[in-house]
């Protein structure tokens, strides 16, 4: 899947929606709960999440993959785990503000 910054993707298994902040250096497979993400909004197929991770995706959080350089922003939270090429994405920590002296 060719991923570009600013592109929106939707989960087909839950209400999760994301926007790409930083594109990966190579083509990757982006999934949510094991199912490929769609580039058009469509109703979730429902069912129970396959993953056992707590919390699912959280609204407003940035998720990253160090290996590919991918960074996404969650615009709609939902169940399931975001992954790239089978590797779960990690929640990016807050950046420190510059000191003002």
Burial of 85 (0-12, 13-18, 19+ CB in 10 A): middle
pLDDT at 40: 85
pLDDT at 48: 52
Burial of 9 (0-12, 13-18, 19+ CB in 10 A): buried
Per the listing, tokens 């190579």 go with: 26
Cα dist from 74 to 21, 89, 95, 98, whole Å: 10, 12, 17, 25
* Residues 19, 74: Cα–Cα separation, whole Å: 7
CA 64 vs. chain centroid, Å, equals 8
Q: What is the pTM of this model?
A: 0.82
Sequential pLDDT tens for the chain (101 residues): 788 999 999 999 889 999 999 999 889 999 998 999 998 877 666 555 555 555 789 999 999 999 999 999 999 999 999 999 999 999 998 878 888 76
pLDDT at 19: 96
């Amino acid at each position: 899947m060719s991923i570009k910054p600013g592109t929106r993707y939707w989960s087909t298994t839950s209400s999760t929606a994301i926007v790409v902040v930083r594109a990966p250096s190579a083509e990757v497979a982006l999934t949510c709960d094991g199912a490929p993400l769609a580039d058009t909004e469509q109703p979730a197929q429902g069912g129970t999440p396959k993953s056992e991770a707590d919390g699912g995706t959280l609204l407003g959080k940035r998720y990253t993959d160090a290996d590919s350089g991918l960074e996404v922003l969650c615009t709609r939270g939902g169940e399931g785990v975001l992954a790239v090429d089978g590797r779960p994405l990690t929640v990016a920590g807050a950046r420190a503000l510059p000191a003002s002296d």
